[in-house]
Amino acid sequence: MTMFQAGRFEKAIALIKKAMRLSPYYPTWYLFYLAESYRMAGRYEEAIATYNNKENLSRTRNPFLYHVGLVEVYMELGREEKARAHAAEVLRLNPDFSLEYVRNFNFFKDPAHLERRLEALRKAGLK
């Protein structure tokens, strides 16, 4: 998580994968941060596959967070229809979701990373 928050996304990916090898019964947040790191590193197809991991989705308490990540990935890929479909799912799962929620849970060292997230969410119609 520290490497992710510091903007060292490739390092975060390597460390998360190592942690998953060392502890094969890992918590769901490992896959979440792996997907987030892939997305921020521009490794979009890997991010999509990881966000959509069925086992992880069935175990998580906050599935709307995975849809938030997919909104961002699909917007950055220019696949607006898919992004908007996931934005609708975010609001279905968490009707109180707002960009303020994202701002309040920002742990990025570099403010540009937060702005990148917010811009993708805004383009998808989230407020």
Task: Provide the pLDDT for residue 60.
Answer: 86
Q: How many CA atoms lie within 13 A of 25 on its CB side?
A: 0
pLDDT digits (tens, 9 = 90+) for 70-125: 999 999 999 999 999 999 999 999 999 999 999 998 889 999 999 999 999 999 99
pLDDT attached to residue 59: 85
The CATH number for 38's domain is 1.25.40.10
- Going by pLDDT thresholds of 50, 70 and 90, the confidence category of residue 57 is confident
Q: What pLDDT, in 10s, does the model give residues 63-73?
A: 899 999 999 99
Domain that holds residue 79: 2-123
pLDDT tens digits for range 14-24? 999 999 999 98
Looking at the predicted structure, is the pLDDT value of residue 42 above 90? yes
The tally of domains found in the chain comes to 1
Residues with Cβ within 8 Å of residue 75, at least 6 apart in sequence: 83, 120, 121, 123, 124
> How confident is the model over 16-45, as a mean pLDDT?
95
Q: Would you say residue 126 has pLDDT above 90? A: yes
pLDDT at 105: 85
What pLDDT sits at residue 58? 84
pLDDT given for residue 68 in this prediction? 96
- Phi (first) and psi of residue 79, to 5 degrees: -100, 75
Record the tokens describing residue 84, joined without a space.
């908007």
